[in-house]
Structure 1
Amino acid sequence: MRGPVASSSRLPLRSISTSSSRLATPAPSAVPSPAARSAISEDRASRSSDAARPRGSGSGPRAAIMPPFERWIQTAAKQYKLPPMGRGPFWIGSTPFPLNPTFKPSPPLPTYTRQALWAAHIAEPKGSGAPRALSTRFHIPIDRVEAVLRLCALEKEWVKERRPLQTHFASSMERLLGSPVEATLNKQRADRQKAASSSDASSSNAASSSNGRASGRVTPTAQTMQMQRGMKEDEPVPSLPGSSAEIRGPYREIVDEGNEPPSILEPALHAANVARGAKLAALPSNGPRKVRDAPTTVGTRVRAPLRIADVGPNSYAGAGVAGRNEARRVRRARATAKRMATIEGRRSRLEERVQMAREARQA
C-alpha cells in the first residue's frame, strides 16, 4: 500500500465526492482571497439570474429592448392598428421604394375630384370645362385631366351596359394610398367661401354706406339679402365668370337633369364593335362559307318539291352491296355454264364410243 504522494502545488486541498461531479467547496479552515470571493459572488449572481429567466425568451440586446406583447400592442403598435386618413401607406415609411429612393409617386386623384372634373366638362365642354381650363383650375396636368375624362366616360358607358364597377375597392385604395379626404377639401372650400364672402361684404358695405350717406338710407348687404331670400347651397346657381362665386368650382355649374348630354364614347364604341365583327367574320374557318349579300327572291304560292333523305348513322351501311352481288352472280353464271358445257361434251363423246362399239359387235 502506497502512502500519500507529495505535491508541489500550493492550492488548498479539495475532497472528491462520489455523488456529485463538481468539486467541493474549500474547507472552512481555508480563507479565500478577496479576488476569489468576488469571483464566487459573481458566479452565484449569474446562476440565480439564469434560474430566474423564463424558458423560451430570447437572449441578447433585442430581448432586453423589446417590451412584452401586451404593453407593445397598447403603446407602439396602436398607431398601426387603424390607418390614418390622408397619410397614405404609413407602414412603409417615407420611402415607399427602397431600391429607388427618389421615386415617390403622388397619391391617386380622389373620387370627388374626378366627379368634379366630369361635371365641369359635361356642363361646358368647349369653355370652362375644356381640359386645359380644368387643368388650370384644379392644378392637374392636362394629360392626366384627359385620362380622367376618358375613364369617366367609359365608366358611364359601363353603367349603361350594367357592368359591375369596383367602387368600394377604389375608395378603400384611395384611403390607403393617401388621397386627400373630402372633409379637407370641404374645409378649404369653406375657408375660401368665407374669405370671398367677407371681401364681398366689405365692398358692399362700403358701397352701401357711401350710397346711404348720399341718399340718406341704408342698403342691405348681399349676404343679408341672401339670408332673407332663404336660398340653399344645393340650389343650382348660374356661373358668372370673373366673379367670386367662381371660387367654388364646378359644383355651381349644374346642368338640368332633363338636358342629358350626348354620349362621347358611344359612336366610337359602336364603330369599334363593327370593325371587330368584320375582322372576325373575315377570318378563315373549317365550316361552310356563308352567303353574305344573298339575292332576295319573290315568294310564290306553289309548294316546292320536298324530298326526305335518311342521313342517319346506318343510312350508308349497305352502300355498294347490290352491285357487288350482281357481279358475283354473273361470275357464278359463267362458271356454271362452262362446267355444264364440259360435262355435255364428255357425255356426247362417250355416247359416240358406245355406239361405235355396238356397231362393231353386230358386224
Structure 2
Amino acid sequence: MESVQNDIILVEKVCEIYHKISKLDTLKPSEDVNTLFTELVSTCIPPASINIANLPSDVQEIRSKLIRLCGEAEGHLEAHFSTILGSFPHPLHHLNEFPYYSNYLKLGRLEFDILTKHYSPSKQAPKRLAFVGSGPLPLTSIVLASYHLKDTIFHNYDIDSLANSMASHLVSSDPDLSQRMVFHTTNIMDVKDELKEYDVVFLAALVGMDIDEKVKVIDHLAKYMAPSALLMLRSAHGARVFLYPVVDVHLLKGFEVLDVFHPNDDVVNSVVISRKIGEIVNIDYGDNHHDHLELGIESMMPFSCKYCEFQAFSNSRGQMKMIDN
C-alpha cells in the first residue's frame, strides 16, 4: 500500500510540474526552465513501480504532452551549447562546458560495452556506424568516436541543415574526427540502400516525436538495414517514462532483442540493443497497434533528454564532410 501511495504522490507531482512548464513563454535555457526541469527529473529518477497501462487517460495525455515539451527543450538546449562550444577555436577541447558531459562519458562506456558484447564473436569493431537524429550537439557520436570506436566511420543523419552545420563545425578543427564524421541532411525515410552499408544504427529522440512515426522509422530500418546489423536505442524504466516516449519492444518487428539494460545510477537512459534478423515487408500490427504502443511494458524509447541530469547552467571548416541529400 505504501508503494501505491508513493506512486500516486509522484504522479501528482509530475502533473503539477507539467502545468508549470506548459505555462512558460519559452523552453530555451533560462533560470525558470532550469529550475522546473531539474525538479521534474529529480522527481522521476528515484525507483518507482509506475505502470503506464494503469494511468488514467488524463494523466496519459499529460505524459504525452510532457514528453513533447522535453523534446522541444532538448532541441533548444543542444543548440544553445553547440553555439557556446562552437565559439572556441577548438570546440572539442571544451566539451566539459556542457553540464552533462560526464554523463555522456558514462553512457558511452555503457553502450560500447553492450555493443562489444553483441557485435562480433571476433570482437572486431564496426567499420561504419549511422546515428539517426544526431542534432546540433552529437555527443554520442563524438564520445564513441573519441574514446571507444577509434577506427569507425560515423555517418550522422539529421533532417535539419542548420543542426548539421553546427554539429560539423564542432569537429571541423579536429584532424581525426573531421575525417571520420560525415553529416547527411536528409529524412531517414528517404535513405534506403545506403542503410545496408552500416554495421550499427543508433536511433535518437527527435526522429518522429509522434509514436506512430517512430514505429514507421523502425519498420523502415527493418526493411533496409543489412541482416545481422545492430540497432541500438535508449529506453526508460520506472517513473522515467514521463520523460521519454515509450515503444513496446514487441513492435521491433524484424529485430531480435538481445539485451535491455536499466541503470540505477546517474545514467538515466536505459539501453536496448537488437539485431536485424531478415528482410521485412508489409508489417501488419492488426487492430491493437495503438494499444501496444502506449502500454510501455518491457519497453524501449529512442529518445534522449539532455535535461536528465540537469543541475545548473553554471574556426575553420577544415576537411569536414557535409552531404545534403
Same fold (TM over 0.5): no
Higher strand share: 2
| TM-score bucket (shorter structure) | under 0.3
TM-score, normalised with respect to structure 2: 0.19
- Give TM-score, length-normalised by structure 1: 0.18
Kindly indicate whether structure 1 or structure 2 has the higher relative contact order, using CA contacts under 8 Å at least 6 residues apart. 2
More helix by share: 1
